[in-house]
Each structure stands twice: as C-alpha cells, then as structure tokens.
Amino acid sequence: MERRQRILVVDDEPQITRVLRVGLNGRGFDVRTAADGESALDTFSDWSPDLVVTDLSMPGDVDGIELCRRLRKRSQVPIIVLSVRDDERTKVAALDEGADDYVTKPFSMDELLARVRAALRRGPAPAVEPHGVLEAGVFRVDFEARAVSVRGEAVRLTPKEFELLAYLIRHAGKVLTHRTLLTAVWGGNYGEQVEYLRVFVGHIRKKIEPEPGTPRYLLTEPWTGYRFEPGE
C-alpha cells in the first residue's frame, strides 16, 4: 500500500491544529502539528512531510514568513500559508519568501483540501533550467524553439511574452507575486514595475484565452500576483 502523504500543520492556535488534524486525517493524510516555527523546523527535519500548512502570525523568533524562508533554504516542499490578515503585504511577503499558495481565515475545509491537492499534485518545483518540451494541460512549451502552442495551435509571442508565459506554465498552479514575475523575466531592477506586468499579461491573454475578459488560464490573484492554470 502506498505511503500516506504527510502534512505538517503549524499554528499557535490549538483549536485550529485540532480541527485541521482531524479534517485532514479524515481525508487520508498523515498529519503532525506544531505550535511555533522552531518546533515546526524540528518536526520537518525528523519527519520529512510532503506539504507544510502554516499560520503567519506566531509567537517566538520564527513566525510564518521566517519559517517559509528557512524551509526554502533546505527544501522545495510545497508551503500553503494561512492568514487571518487582510494585509496583502504579509501575504505577498510570505509568497516572496517561498510560500506556494495562501488561504485566508476563515476558510472552508473544501477550499483547503483543494489547495492541498493542487500543491501536492504540483510537487516540489523543478530546480533545473528548463529544456526540451514541457506539456502542461492544454499547453505545450518548446524551450529550444521558444514556441508555445495551445491545443496544438501555435501562439505568436514576442520574446518577452514567451519568457513570461513559459515561466507561468513552469510554475503552474502556484501563486506568483508581481515581484517574482518581474524579477524572473525582467531582472531585479524591475521588481516594482507592476504596470509593465499588467500590459504583458493583457497581451498574452489576448493570444491564449478564448475570452480574454474572463480568463481561464492566466488568473489574477487580486493585489498579489498571478496564477497559471494549464487546463485539462
């Protein structure tokens, strides 16, 4: 029998860890919990979970953002951040430090489970430089020819549009902040040029979306960034 997938839940609120333990257990996951960042790092070392779900505001030296930072130094494990804050900056900071996705409290079990499944499906991000051909959903990226096709139909892209779309497809399902995208495609000096990004996203949508006004693949995460869903 296949090993049950392991999820480490980190939250200083005992009631939250209680319900998440029971809820995720019931869905066939193996769950351990930690009440602060330091013990989460210990459990991570001993137990090697497949996914980490962590709160952002926690007592001690290692809060949620710091936990993301330290986990990323040693692992590509998917991280989902839980936050009660409406504060976009905290969320964006966590994503910039390596979190893959976020869920705002209060959330439903279904929503969390959907995010958990998506993160586990995606698995650890490929660390190597892309080469050859990548197929994701209805998209096919040929990195050698620098060409993208949707449902077998070639898309005409400028070089920058190709880089942006290829980056989005490579990190499909993950929330990518404005800063991450700008830095990846344009370089560190463009980290604040969100308007730039909007223009390019608009162009790409016109080329790949059946209805650019209501995008299906290149989705906006309000105030935060973008997420790519490659379709079936």
> Checking phi first, is residue 187 left (phi over 0); if not, alpha (psi -120 to 50) or beta?
left
Is 29 or 226 the residue whose CB approaches another protein more closely?
29
Candidates 17-25, 138-146, 151-159, 197-205; binding stretch for another protein (CB under 8 A): 17-25
The two structure tokens encoding residue 120: 């586990």
Amino acid, single-letter form, for residue 28: G
Applying CB under 8 A, among 105, 121, 146, 198 the residue interacting with another protein is 105
Cα–Cα distance measured from residue 189 to residue 169, given in angstroms and rounded to the nearest whole number:
23
Instruction: Please state the closest distance from residue 49 (CB atom) to another protein, in A.
Output: 19
> According to the binding rule CB under 8 A, does residue 66 interact with another protein?
no
Among the listed residues 1, 2, 3, 108, the single contact to another protein using CB under 8 A: 108
Tell whether omega for the bond before 124 is within 30 degrees of 0, i.e. cis. Answer: no
Among positions 1, 2, 3, 15, the unique one binding another protein when judged by CB under 8 A: 15
Sign of the C-alpha dihedral, residues 188, 194, 196, 198? positive
The site for another protein, by CB under 8 A, has a size of 30
Residues 6+ apart with CB under 8 A from 9: 16, 17, 20, 21, 24, 31, 32, 33, 34, 53, 54
Answer yes or no whether residue 35 interacts with another protein by CB under 8 A: yes
- Closest to another protein by CB, 14 or 130: 14
117 binds another protein (CB under 8 A): no
Q: Give residues in contact with another protein (CB under 8 A).
A: 12-16, 18-20, 22-23, 25-28, 35-36, 57, 59-60, 84-86, 105-110, 112-113
